[in-house]
Amino acid sequence: MHHDPLHILKTIFGYEQFRGHQRAVIDHVVAGGDAMVLMPTGGGKSLCYQIPALCRDGIAIVVSPLIALMQNQVEMLRQLGVKAAGLHSGMSFSEIVETGRSMRAGELDMLYVAPERLMQPAFLDQLHHCRLALFAIDEAHCVSQWGHDFRPEYLQLAALAERFPGVPRLALTATADQPTRLEILERLCLGKGAQFIAGFDRPNIRYRVSLKNAPKKQLLHFIRTEHSRNSGIVYCLSRAKVEETASWLREQGIEALAYHAGLDRHVRHANQDKFLREDGLVMVATIAFGMGIDKPDIRFVAHLDLPRSLEAYYQETGRAGRDGLPSDAWMVYGLQDAAKIRQMIEASDASESKKAVERQKVSALLGYCETTCCRRQVLLEYFGDTASPCNNCDTCLQPVDTFDGLEAAQQALSAIYRTGQRFGVAYIVDILRGEENDRIRAMGHQHLSTFGIGRSRSVNEWKSILRQLIAMGHAIAASDQNGALILGHDVLPVLRGEARVSFRRDPAEQRSSTGKRVLIETPAEQILFDALRTRRLELARAQGVPPYVIFHDTTLLEMARRKPIHLDSLSKVPGVGCGKLGRYGQDFLDVIIRVSELDTGP
């Protein structure tokens, strides 16, 4: 057996080079060191422990929090010809017994196991009789009590350090800010280990936020023009909206499934399974869907409602494009969304200090929505990273104008104030524009000094200004009256003219020229790519596995470009290792030969 990492990368995984920190991590762990690895989703964390597992003698124990993730990884490894198994509550008793036997007999390279099972005394005793290559602790941020994925079982993993002192331990995660990092190091006793920290950018994801006017239609247009036949996730806030959106999309001819916590467990499970196993389905879901979704070819993540925070947004959008191919994070957002999210904080009975933290988080989120700078810069800076303008987000591709808005802000705020902080957006706009209607006359508001002060701006301009004032926190939609606007906490500097206020000039209409990014150069390639995908789906169905465990889209695309017609040249395509070449090589060559003949035929 070869113990050279690069050789293993090439022959088993079918890749030519290591990426980023992979090589450094692997060398460190192969030499017996502990480590913490932070890489963005899709960065290639799995290889950081899978290759050392194959280089070192004995079995590698991989701790994973979710059965779905485990099964997925085990299936991928088996397809590559690696001896991997999982041990979890979804297995029958006899399967568990058999896996335990092959573990003790030294027949396995890798065992995926849930933390609570690993830490059972009987299981730990068994491990003492095995030769151990390493421990890999995946999703290591689950030890953090402050994060949203906290799993108490993860805390027990600290004991591994004492019980197995000579065995390298490797903690991996994609989500860890500075406090969480420290927590991981401390709670997993990795203090002396090396740290490998990669930047958090996801360059293949294009970020886009559009103004909400007809959200479902906007979504449909987006899917039809840019993502027909692609897999994607659409996030909505409520169960009702999930159901409604999914069935509406189906009526429009888009294959859409629903997922939320209120669905029958079996239906929910079946929908998730279908999404993972089929190509080109749209999953409409609440945030109950996502954790542990490891599908590499999700081409878009769409938000019809605001996420809870920028952290949540980054995690949710991060599910797109794990395979590195161009993908979209798309969101629609409007005045109501800004008003609602601010209102929720003010109406909650949390302590004032907690509210202050929440307000900051919401300001960051709304600031992202309203920004006129590069969205990627806003995101990365929020996470303590830096970046230059990316040229792969809507504000980079279609720069947004700004205007000095102090006077307009003062006019709007004073209209809110002088009408007694009792009226909603439509009324305030009428006051500003001097629309003398019955309601205004009944209140006598046509005599106010602010009446008609903003005639020069259109209704939409004023709505945009009010939306941005709400996003900035200068105006708040009060929770007790129907959408009435009241003044925010820090408006005095604005009213006194001491603050700078800059507004974005909303683009009149979202031009679609942010452009569809082409994966494929020619129609002939597209035909071949589609045929390869069809063949892959047949092979996957026959085995009851997701298509991407056979080959990723990246690999099929490269086949469509290179059109290899011999096994030898096929083996050079990234993602085609020895195991898969033997197993599927001829199948895919047949497709290439058949389709290319059609292509060049008379």
Q: Which residue, 15 or 417, is less far from ligand ADP as judged by CB?
A: 15
Residue 42 in contact with ligand ADP, rule: CB under 6 A:
yes
Site string for Zn ion, 360-379 (x = CB under 5 A): --------------x-x---
Residues near Zn ion (CB under 5 A), total: 5
What stretches of 408-523 adopt beta strand conformation (E)?
A: 475-477, 485-487, 502-504
Confirm if 285 and 234 have CB atoms less than 8 A apart.
yes
Confirm if 411 and 497 have CB atoms less than 8 A apart.
no
Least distance in Å: CB of 370 to ligand ADP? 30
Piece in contact with ligand ADP (CB under 6 A), picked from 35-43, 242-250, 408-416, 581-589: 35-43
Q: Which residue, 313 or 451, is less far from ligand ADP as judged by CB?
A: 313
Piece in contact with ligand ADP (CB under 6 A), picked from 43-51, 103-111, 212-220, 382-390: 43-51
Residue 15 in contact with ligand ADP, rule: CB under 6 A:
yes
Q: Which residue, 41 or 510, is less far from ligand ADP as judged by CB?
A: 41
In Å, how far are 105, 154, 208, 510, 515 from 399, measured between CA atoms?
63, 46, 12, 12, 14
Q: Which residue, 376 or 552, is less far from ligand ADP as judged by CB?
A: 552
- Which residue from 325, 208, 230, 323 is spatially nearest to 283, judged by alpha carbons? 230
Q: Which residues neighbour 423 within 8 Å (Cβ) at sequence distance 6 or greater?
A: 416, 431, 484, 485
Piece in contact with ligand ADP (CB under 6 A), picked from 36-44, 221-229, 261-269, 562-570: 36-44
Q: Which partner from the list Zn ion, ligand ADP, none does 484 bind, CB cut-off 5 to 8 Å by kind?
A: none
Piece in contact with ligand ADP (CB under 6 A), picked from 10-18, 101-109, 158-166, 209-217: 10-18
Residue 41 in contact with ligand ADP, rule: CB under 6 A:
yes
Query: Exposure of 404 by Cβ count < 10 A (0-12 exposed, 13-18 middle, 19+ buried)?
Result: exposed
Q: What is the distance, to the nearest Å, from the Cα of residue 361 to the centroid of all Cα atoms in its chain?
A: 19
Site string for ligand ADP, 311-340 (x = CB under 6 A): -----------xx-----------------
Least distance in Å: CB of 205 to ligand ADP? 13
Residue 46 in contact with ligand ADP, rule: CB under 6 A:
yes
Which 269-308 residues touch ligand ADP, going by CB under 6 A?
296
Collapsing DSSP to helix, strand or coil, 593 comes out as helix
Q: How many Å apart are CA 562 and CA 569, to the nearest integer?
A: 9
Report helix, strand and coil shares of the chain as percent, to nearest 5. Answer: 50, 15, 40
- Which residue from 279, 278, 285, 280 is spatially nearest to 262, judged by alpha carbons? 285
- Which residue from 54, 170, 189 is spatially nearest to 110, judged by alpha carbons? 54
- Which residue from 433, 378, 130, 59 is spatially nearest to 49, judged by alpha carbons? 59
Q: Which residue, 47 or 595, is less far from ligand ADP as judged by CB?
A: 47
The two tokens of residue 433 are 């524009």
Candidates 3, 7, 19, 101; binder of ligand ADP (CB under 6 A) is: 19
Which 145-164 residues touch Zn ion, going by CB under 5 A?
none
Piece in contact with ligand ADP (CB under 6 A), picked from 11-19, 433-441, 442-450, 458-466: 11-19
Which 372-431 residues touch Zn ion, going by CB under 5 A?
374, 376, 390, 393, 396
Candidates 552, 555, 558, 560; binder of ligand ADP (CB under 6 A) is: 552
Q: How many Å apart are CA 580 and CA 182, to the nearest integer?
A: 40
Confirm if 201 and 46 have CB atoms less than 8 A apart.
no
Element (H, E) at 112: strand 110-113
- Residues in contact with ligand ADP by the rule CB under 6 A: 15, 17-19, 22, 39, 41-47, 296, 322-323, 552, 574
- Residues in contact with Zn ion by the rule CB under 5 A: 374, 376, 390, 393, 396
